[in-house]
């Protein structure tokens, strides 16, 4: 399923007039893909500002907005938030903070595995943080097993991004695919890894 429709277009950070929160939530409930574009049009600018204030990096902030929209697709229908903007802003803030912690951990020598765990921290249910998880050798084995089980294209994109540090733009050019497609593949890969770790009993 292609979740990003082309109902409304606009640059990240640009506000576009759109429907009410109630109408947007109803689109999510009905699994109408227009919900993604309606949300982006109304709240994309706010979400980007939330991310850029934490990350200070345009590409990472755009990726954070994209991940926020995909998380909204997975959760809004069940949560039905009373204040959609606040719900989305909290999601974006948590994603940005996780990305920031992962980035700073990598600078301290944690490496790409720590960065991956940092991005997954929001989806792991356990109380242990990324550093504690990294110290357990079984986590490293589980990550390797999961990555090896991914489809070839997903595995290649995942490894280039998180183990070789290539940018979204570089990967999209390498695969001759849109940046949104690469971001979507990375999001699905992170979800697959989170589910795999949980199945292995790593999250509590």
DSSP character at residue 122: G
What tokens does 66 get? 């994209």
Buried b (16+ CB within 10 A) or exposed e, 40-75: bbbbbbbbbebbbebbebeebbbbbbbbbbbbbbee
Length of the chain (residues): 204
pTM beyond cutoff 0.75: no
For the stretch 140-186, pLDDT in tens is 677 888 888 899 899 889 888 876 667 888 899 999 999 999 999 99
- Asked whether the beta carbons of 157 and 185 are under 8 A apart, the reply is yes
pLDDT at residue 39, as a whole number:
95
Ordered domains of the chain (ranges, CATH): 21-199 (1.20.140)
For the stretch 20-54, pLDDT in tens is 899 999 999 999 999 999 999 999 999 999 888 88
């Amino acid at each position: 399923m292609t979740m990003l429709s082309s109902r409304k277009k606009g640059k990240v950070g640009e506000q576009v007039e759109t429907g009410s929160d109630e109408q947007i939530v109803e689109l999510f409930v009905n699994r109408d893909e227009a919900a993604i574009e309606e949300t982006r049009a109304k709240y994309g600018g706010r979400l980007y500002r939330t991310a850029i204030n934490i990350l200070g990096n345009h590409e990472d902030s755009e990726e954070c907005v994209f991940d926020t929209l995909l998380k909204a697709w997975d959760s809004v229908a069940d949560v039905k938030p009373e204040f959609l903007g606040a719900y989305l802003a909290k999601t974006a803030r948590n994603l940005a903070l996780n990305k920031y912690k992962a980035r700073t951990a990598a600078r301290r020598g944690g490496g790409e595995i720590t960065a991956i765990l940092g991005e997954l921290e929001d989806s792991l249910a356990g109380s242990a943080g990324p550093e504690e998880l990294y110290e357990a050798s079984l986590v490293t084995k589980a990550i390797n097993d999961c990555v090896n089980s991914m489809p070839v294209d997903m595995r290649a994109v995942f490894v280039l991004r998180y183990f070789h540090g290539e940018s979204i733009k570089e990967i999209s050019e390498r695969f001759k695919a849109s940046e949104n497609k690469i971001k979507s593949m990375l999001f699905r890969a992170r979800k697959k890894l989170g589910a795999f770790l949980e199945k292995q009993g790593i999250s509590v």
